[in-house]
Amino acid sequence: MSDAIKVYPDKPKKVYFYATCLVDIFYPDAGMAGIQLLEREGIEVVFPKNQTCCGQPAYSSGFNDQAREVILPQLSLFPEDYPVVVPSGSCAGMMRKHYPELFAGTPQQSQAQALAKRTWELTDFLLQVCKIQLQDQGEPIKVAMHTSCSARREMGIAEVGPKLLSQLGQVELVEQARSAECCGFGGTFAVRHEEISGAMVQDKAEALQAAGAEHFVTTDCGCLMNIAGYADKQKMPMKGQHILSFLWERLQTEGKTPENAGGRS
């Protein structure tokens, strides 16, 4: 959200959790870690079971009608006035910035606008609404942060990840030379423009490695899949992880592991 002034809600008793497709299919540990971090802050997490894709693949490919078809059944999944938290700057940006545009002039306009206004990227919510405090229980490590384009430019949260990581006393945050550049994923962009995408992810992975990072973290699973996949293929000694999973692992001695999380509706 690139709004000039962000108006954050008071810390709520409950939130809706919108998991995203990539978390659901490829990185469930990131979703579980996000839920555990919320529960650690005393928030009850409500998970609507019929949630599916946010509609971004169709929208970013220019198929607005198809995007609306995907989104429409989900507009009624969040009936109570709880914040909707999303472990992805990309999907959160789609919901917050583009739902009102897509449904402008339709019977669902007000419903889409209301949902957009209470949608938050999860790390931003943890930092600004929950005022989360982290006590590092891990070993010393050098970490680089990659913030997705949507998280940076649509949601305006480029500083959130580094601020959370700065609370971890054993984590040294190293700065990559291409911190503001795209990793080349871009959803369907990576499929439709394979060679360009490949060159971009090479630049990104090499910049992360050159920074001396043993580990990189990101707010978005698409970026994680792209960069970590390239690094693995090139046998780079660098591990990638969603920032939520990384944060939770650093706190593991404080409580339960994501696998035995409880208290969800």
pLDDT (tens digit, 9 = 90+) per residue, 197-250?
Answer: 999 999 999 999 999 999 999 999 999 999 999 999 999 999 999 999 999 999
- Res. 24: pLDDT tops 90: yes
In terms of Cα–Cα distance, which of 242, 245, 247 is closest to 226? 242
In terms of Cα–Cα distance, which of 247, 258, 197 is closest to 225? 197
Which one has a higher pLDDT value, 257 or 27? Answer: 27
Residue 3: its pLDDT value, please?
52
In terms of Cα–Cα distance, which of 131, 165, 123, 174 is closest to 148? 123
Residue 108: its pLDDT value, please?
98
pLDDT single digits (tens) 53-73 = 999 999 999 999 999 999 999
Q: For the chain, which domains are there? A: 14-128 (3.40.50), 141-250 (3.40.50)
Q: Report how far residue 125's alpha carbon sits from residue 45's, in angstroms, rounded to the nearest whole number.
A: 13
Two tokens, residue 27: 């990185």
- Res. 265: pLDDT tops 50: no
Query: pTM for this structure?
Result: 0.91
Q: Report how far residue 249's alpha carbon sits from residue 15's, in angstroms, rounded to the nearest whole number.
A: 22
Residue 188: its pLDDT value, please?
80
- Res. 12: pLDDT tops 80: yes
Residue 191: its pLDDT value, please?
80
- Res. 4: pLDDT tops 60: no
**DSSP-based helix, strand, coil % in the chain, nearest 5:** 45, 10, 40
- Res. 5: pLDDT tops 70: no
Residue 59: its pLDDT value, please?
95
- Res. 101: pLDDT tops 70: yes
- Res. 137: pLDDT tops 70: yes
- pLDDT bin (cut points 50, 70, 90) of residue 192 is confident
